[in-house]
Amino acid sequence: MSRRSSREKILDASEKIVIAEGAGHMPIETIAQKAGVSRGGLLYNFPTKDKLLEAMLERLVKRFKDARYAEHAKLKPETKARELKAHMSSFFRVVRKENSISAAVLAMAAHSPKMLAPIQKARRELFEEIVATSDLDSTRASVIMAAIDGIWLINLLGISFMTPDDEKKAMAELRKLAENWPDEKNTEVKKAQN
């Protein structure tokens, strides 16, 4: 068995345990057994539980990124705010699949905030890419991304006030907002004319 396949099997087993038991209950022996590797093999790949959780977060970030690129390819090149729209579409598709693992790993990260570093880095890179490759200014992109994150968070915490239909309508409104953000200059001209 190659090192890479062992690593993936360990990550797969860890995700299953985290979903079933929570991130606080990840005995090394149980993970090794479920992954079909020795305890030494697990520790070779992930010397500490924190390293294992970091790798799980990095893999989750990669899934989001891969889904966004797949969604990006479906959009027309001339589409205004293409990067942001790809992010919106892919984010919710992946989040629905990964919500249990997100919740469990983020709960563990609450005890060790430094573990969120891979997600913070990926989010910053995404934000910079969206601003750099679209006609969106950073304020516009911030408002829309914060709304997307808010919808995700209230779903993750189980406190959403929105029905699935409400959520679809909200996402459609965010897409419109990305396309038709009010131009400050035009707004100022209209105010002066009235």
pLDDT digits 0-9 by tens, 10-52: 998 988 887 777 766 778 899 999 999 999 999 999 998 888 8
For range 143-171, the mean pLDDT: 87
CA-CA distance, 155 to 145, in Å (whole number)? 16
Mean of per-residue pLDDT scores for the chain: 78
Query: Is residue 104 pLDDT above 50, yes or no?
Result: yes
Average pLDDT over residues 174-192: 61
Q: CA 40 to CA 176: how far, in whole Å?
A: 53
Residue 89 has pLDDT above 70, yes or no: yes
Q: What is the mean pLDDT of residues 95-108?
A: 68
| 19 closest CA partner among 46, 74, 56 | 56
Q: What is the CATH number of domain 1-47?
A: 1.10.10
- pLDDT for the residue numbered 111: 67
Three-state SS at 121? helix
What Rg value do the Cα atoms of the chain yield, rounded? 20
Q: What is the pTM of this model?
A: 0.68
The burial class, CB within 10 Å (0-12 / 13-18 / 19+), for 167 is middle
127 pLDDT above the threshold of 50? yes
8, pLDDT greater than 80: yes
The residues spanned by each domain of the chain are 1-47, 50-181
* Bigger pLDDT: 83 vs 182: 83
